[in-house]
A and B are shown apart, each in its own frame.
Chain A
């Protein structure tokens, strides 16, 4: 992942007054995500990425999202999101739905976003941005801490890099093949040894790198996830970690 930050350039969560013994690797990983928000991504500018983040925080109080969550089907409730940005409506809908009601997303909903002009690359980077902030904010909420102020946008244009090997696969979005050896994406995972939930982000390789970076602080290094005997040596045993992981996934009605 990106290089460490000097003290003068640190923005983002620091947790030094958290009232809990928050490990340094949490703050470091979260600050690297803040740094990513303050720089252009692959498909979105920095300003747009920060607007995506602002929409995540707005989504929790969006009346339309609240009403949809209570409905038998989200499609039964029509209306407009309480948007706080100038982002296209398809992007706003994607951010709000992924934040507040992800378990009921469908392929046809995703296809509708593409028909409304959101590219596959824009969508995958949007997903990566949304889920990272949801996670970091959830960590703060869990510890009773205020949410960290978002960074100021930086200059520059998105790279628009698309892996040459990305193709339709076992997902709605194109993915880099399991065997990534000999490609610019060889660093994302050991060839033929990864899971779809990691490959899902691979249309935008930097989103996989962020995923791995955050996972190493929050849960386990990716290479240890499939090794049930590995304990990270923290305050929880592996079985306790997996109980928390499983219950959280079930509460979110996640099939994976």
Chain B
């Protein structure tokens, strides 16, 4: 087998060398608990302060509006539960979409069990919400709108600024799950009227197990984790100093190089999409043709199943992912692919290749070349393809 070609950057990314180097001293050298009084802890406090500043700067927030968490899912849980409980006297209605990450959807289901009402907005064939439908869904009881910045499966970028305007106009809080967007897209929470924003370090070449929630100053929210006085009494637990340092460095790097990375990734992505569309019949691109994450390509290959595709790709050293039921352990394919209107049998044949800055044109060409053979081999085995080919016999 050749070296591995990693094309699953939406799942996670490798920690960048510069990021790791900044983190390392905070494991064994400057290990002091940031809450302690002695000099050793000063190092930790200063490091966390610097990271907070870097995160704030990257998204146009104030330093005091950044709260570190144990990852993106915690940030999502906190935003929804924290806002819901704190504002329950104002109303019990939350608006979200059908294509959110499960960290949002399952939290919404939980809140429904607690007596909250949730509207799940439909999306169009590209995965876009309708602003008109969003505005129509707002009632006097609406306390929160939670709509993801960019979708993790199909890469579609929502009209976040316009959503923010609507939320502001109606006096409703706006949370966005920006786990896939932070580090890949320009974000300005003030200009976009975002009240709460979730992020995760390991999607932007930082470490796993650390993230942050931006909370606009003055936003009413309950803590999710009770205990110590860390993070201004809002998020208890001894700070993950090395992780937080890693997030700070990773996000700074991401935004320093945003423009060049974006240009590079879009050129790779378009090369991949073009190659596949030209060489493989019965394939569709999922998501929006332009308004999509720079590195995201998501396809459905008709007549074959996604897990079989992934296994075959793995055998030639290519790592990708699929929204097929067989990869989720349930019988249903991805809720996102169903929400954009794909029939089950098509959705089962999905493949997501999410590119990163470490990928090359040669790797993209290699992936296209291998996919041609793999798709053909699986189709030759498929009774569904036989029916299509029937006319040609």
Mutual binders A and B: no
